[in-house]
Amino acid sequence: MSFDGYKNVIKEGDTVILYLTITQVYCIKAEPKTVNKKGNFIENVFQTPYGALKCADLIGKHYGSKITLSKGWGYVLQPTPELWTITLPHRTQIIYTPDISMIILQLELCPGSIVIESGTGSGSLSHALIRAVKPHGHLYTFDFHEIRAETARDEFEDHGLTSYVTVNNKDVCESGFGDDLNNKADAVFLDLPHPWLVIPHTIKSIKDTGGRLCSFSPCIEQVQKSCLMLLKLGFQEIQTVEVLQTQYAVQQRSLPLLNLEFLKNEKDGSECEKKERETFKTITSIPPASLPGHTGYLTFATLPPIWARNLQISLNQNDINNVE
């Protein structure tokens, strides 16, 4: 239950984030026993670069407290979608926090929103979507891979999030999201190899009052096909963005001052007094040696309310009749 709301004390079975350094962050379970490869119960000990940690010792400690290891120390933190993203077991390529924040912003999600996601993958985005829409909203997530869908369902149950999410094992490219979700979603997110095949199904699922759609694609050719399908089906405000996170090093540097005293003297051939070159200190940002790598393109679009869609169809029909 460690993902559903904040609490102070670690309880047995909680998922805990072990923070050692900025590059050494681990996800562990606060359980005294674990099962080995032979199926036997053994003491749950987590090995770190700074020594072993008995997971049973975490039970009863406060989140944020400092723990001692045999060769150093670390901190135990309560899991958040951001920390889960950098520690989760990868079953597929995941979406990271810079893209996730843009997705939630552009989809205009808030508590109470109904969101459809396809595909589920490793559940990185799913946890962030759940946090954005709970306690009254709901996430319907789809994955065509049965094992991945089952694993994601078990993770949501283990994290205490089952009341906010429904996991489905289904190929939405072939059959869509199902009649149960017709006119129910405020937003739809697609992370698929062929998103343009699913876009026609999203029109049935988005509410009659309209909604937002986002498609994540690593290749620009996928973006082109998706945008053509969005235009064909009457989506508006279509835009594609690429989110690149760049970190600048803030440093204090000494810069020389240019001596312009000679400009004040008359041109009589006399030399100005020589002075040592002065310097001043300033704060500046140093760009990184290399730019961040490409992750993918985010395409956003708005489906207008149904009355606006019907009006546009009527106007288009009038134009056709006038031409005839």
Give the β-pairing of 297-303 and 236-241. antiparallel
pLDDT of residue 37: 82
Burial class (CB in 10 A: 0-12, 13-18, 19+), 59: middle
**Calpha distance 142→170 (Å, rounded):** 6
**Residue 319 annotated as lining a ligand binding site:** no
**Residue 123 annotated as lining a ligand binding site:** yes
pLDDT of residue 323: 42
**Calpha distance 128→133 (Å, rounded):** 9
**Residue 4 annotated as lining a ligand binding site:** no
**Closest Cα to residue 83, out of 34, 160, 19, 146?**
19
**Calpha distance 121→95 (Å, rounded):** 10
pLDDT in tens, 12-45: 999 999 999 988 999 999 999 988 888 888 889 9
**Residue 176 annotated as lining a ligand binding site:** no
pLDDT of residue 103: 97
pLDDT of residue 306: 87
Please give the domain boundaries of the chain with CATH numbers for all domains: 15-79 (3.10.330.20), 86-244+293-323 (3.40.50.150)
**Residue 263 annotated as lining a ligand binding site:** no
Global confidence as pTM: 0.85
pLDDT of residue 7: 87
Residue ranges, the chain, pLDDT below 70:
1-2, 259-277, 313-324
Torsion of CA 102, 230, 171, 108, to 10 degrees: 30
**Residue 191 annotated as lining a ligand binding site:** yes
